[in-house]
A and B are shown apart, each in its own frame.
Chain A
Amino acid sequence: MTDDPYKNLKISKGAVVKPRTSLVNKTGSWRSERPVVDHEKCVACGNCEKFCPDMAIKETEEGKFEVDLDYCKGCGICAEECPVKAIIMKEEEK
């Protein structure tokens, strides 16, 4: 677990902060459904990456696309936009 940069944060004028401090806010815990990519079907068009509102889909070194579950909120837009239906939304279980 990263040290919480907010812990002893002093507020600068206008609450101006260094970039990337919000990475500590792992929004993946908000998710009720997770996207699951079927790499057999995936044609690596990159639509899911472009449409993801949280930049939580990244291209892998193999040229495929993977979801960063630390930040994916499970909105399902990637599954909706996938032209070959390679992404399905699967209910999260406790």
Chain B
Amino acid sequence: MAKMMTGYDAVAEAVKACDPDVIPAYPITPQTDIVERISEMVADGELTSEYVRVDSEFNAASTALGASAAGARTFTATCSQGLKLMSEPLFSASGMRLPLVLAIANRSLSAPLSIWGDHTDTFAERDGGMIQFYAEDVQEAMDNIAMAYRVAEDEEISLPALSCLDGFILTHVQEKVEPFSRKEIREFLPERSPVHTLDPSDPKTMGAYARPEHWTETRYEVHQAQLKAKDKIAEAVEEFANIFDREYGLGYNGLLETYRAEDADVLLVALGSVCGTMKYIVDEYRQRGEKIGIVRPRVYRPFPTEELCEVLEDAEAIAVVEKDISLGYQGGLAIDIKSALYSNGSRIPILNFIVGLAGRDVKKDNIKNIVEQTKELRGKLPEDIEFGKEERWEPLRTELLEDDKK
């Protein structure tokens, strides 16, 4: 039965249904409400997980890693500086092939200090071997938790997974969702069957030293598991649709969703909740007969290369709209999309728009500006964009800058 729920409530409900054995928790805004709600469930006896109040995010991720090594299903949540502190054990977890599921309430990184949302925290973890899901709305944030468990714990994958939802925009907003129960989720999510388990009667060394003649191959295997995760995500979304009747990009292996993209000559690519506003603007353009559409990757790692190339190949111009910037170059998503398309022979001009950093609202007019600038590139080639001018900030308040930077 549908209910009104905040993003943090929905994630906590999803975690309850997935029934982890060990939940180490450390608070950080805007994630805190997720683990706070879970602590209430444990206190009320609705959830029998071992709830561990740790002294830092480093400890939270390390405790989850240790529990996972002992064969447990684990959960924790964090964002921003907390994710930075978890980064070291998370890189280890992927190398040790230990599944962990984390909810990330995406938030900017210091400095300056900001508690508001963008994607710079999870993009900074891009190269760590963690699977990354991005939700557009509260329902998807909830459903991605179940899918993250299924893929992360698959014996062939055995990797950590980050289930990302935009801080405040999704964590603290109420939406109508269809929750799933523990009984319902059992059909979708089998019990974890660990590859190796820490057991004193059969001692093993995990995370040991590897010499140069072996280390490369362990990393290669993490890479292969990431690539294999694409198939597992495809299977997971298909079975999820069969059981729960909710579809997530079935035509694109569950890795991306499209909105009015089929015949579009201008395509906007973005992650997460901003796609809601973008759909509204696309509808306005469509009413005037202008062919604008949206492509929304649901998964950033593994990167949906083939699916993006397929869905973007007929566009005349593309705008990659993202809440992230790889300082000194461009937005991370744009870099990856250019690499995928241009190495696949595409000659579509691509603009990169940096938006919504640290919770700055992405308004309808911002989206319209993006569409208008991108429309101008129809019929042109990538080299028609002056080198270094393909990345634009929407908006950049130049009146705030020091005089010589304008």
Using CB atoms and an 8 Å cutoff, list the residues of chain A in contact with chain B: 6, 9, 11-19, 21-22, 25
Between-chain CB contacts (< 8 Å), 22 pairs = A6-B211, A6-B213, A9-B214, A11-B214, A14-B98, A14-B158, A14-B195, A15-B95, A15-B214, A16-B195, A16-B196, A16-B204, A16-B205, A16-B206, A17-B208, A18-B205, A19-B204, A19-B205, A21-B205, A21-B208, A22-B208, A25-B209
Beyond A16-B195, A16-B196, 18 additional contacts (C-beta under 8 Å) are: A11-B217, A11-B218, A12-B196, A13-B158, A13-B196, A14-B97, A15-B95, A15-B96, A15-B207, A15-B210, A15-B218, A16-B96, A16-B204, A17-B205, A18-B205, A19-B204, A22-B208, A25-B209
CB distance from B214 to the nearest CB of A (A): 6
CB distance from B170 to the nearest CB of A (A): 33
Q: Nearest chain-B residue to A22 (Cβ)?
A: B209
The answer, among B204, B207, B221, for a CB contact under 8 Å with A11, is B221
Q: Nearest chain-A residue to B206 (Cβ)?
A: A16
For B204, the chain A residues whose CB sits under 8 A away are: 16-19
Q: Nearest chain-B residue to A25 (Cβ)?
A: B209
CB distance from B266 to the nearest CB of A (A): 45
For B211, the chain A residues whose CB sits under 8 A away are: 6
- Is the CB–CB distance between B97 and A13 below 8 Å? yes
- Is the CB–CB distance between A19 and B203 below 8 Å? yes
For A13, the chain B residues whose CB sits under 8 A away are: 97, 158, 195-196, 221
Q: When A and B form their complex, which 6 residue pairs have the shortest distance between CB atoms, in order from nearest?
A: A14-B97, A16-B196, A14-B96, A19-B203, A15-B218, A17-B205
Q: Nearest chain-A residue to B196 (Cβ)?
A: A16
**How many angstroms from the CA of A62 to the CA of B221 in the assembled complex?**
50
For A14, the chain B residues whose CB sits under 8 A away are: 95-98, 158, 195-196, 206
**How many angstroms from the CA of A17 to the CA of B210 in the assembled complex?**
10
**How many angstroms from the CA of A7 to the CA of B211 in the assembled complex?**
11
CB distance from B192 to the nearest CB of A (A): 14
**How many angstroms from the CA of A19 to the CA of B205 in the assembled complex?**
5
**How many angstroms from the CA of A9 to the CA of B214 in the assembled complex?**
8
Chain A proximity mask over B202-240: 1 for CB below 8 Å, otherwise 0 = 011111111101100110010000000000000000000
CB distance from B311 to the nearest CB of A (A): 33
For B209, the chain A residues whose CB sits under 8 A away are: 22, 25
For B221, the chain A residues whose CB sits under 8 A away are: 11, 13
For A9, the chain B residues whose CB sits under 8 A away are: 214
**How many angstroms from the CA of A9 to the CA of B96 in the assembled complex?**
17
For A11, the chain B residues whose CB sits under 8 A away are: 214, 217-218, 221
CB distance from A54 to the nearest CB of B (A): 13
Contacting residues of chain B (78-107) with chain A, CB-CB under 8 angstroms: 95-98
CB distance from B352 to the nearest CB of A (A): 37
Contacting residues of chain B (242-279) with chain A, CB-CB under 8 angstroms: none
For B196, the chain A residues whose CB sits under 8 A away are: 12-14, 16
For A25, the chain B residues whose CB sits under 8 A away are: 209
Q: Nearest chain-B residue to A9 (Cβ)?
A: B214
CB distance from A40 to the nearest CB of B (A): 38
Q: Counting chain B CB atoms within 10 Å of each CB, which of A6, A12, A13 scores highest?
A: A13
**How many angstroms from the CA of A9 to the CA of B95 in the assembled complex?**
17
For A18, the chain B residues whose CB sits under 8 A away are: 203-205
**How many angstroms from the CA of A9 to the CA of B205 in the assembled complex?**
14
For B195, the chain A residues whose CB sits under 8 A away are: 13-14, 16
For B203, the chain A residues whose CB sits under 8 A away are: 18-19
For B210, the chain A residues whose CB sits under 8 A away are: 15
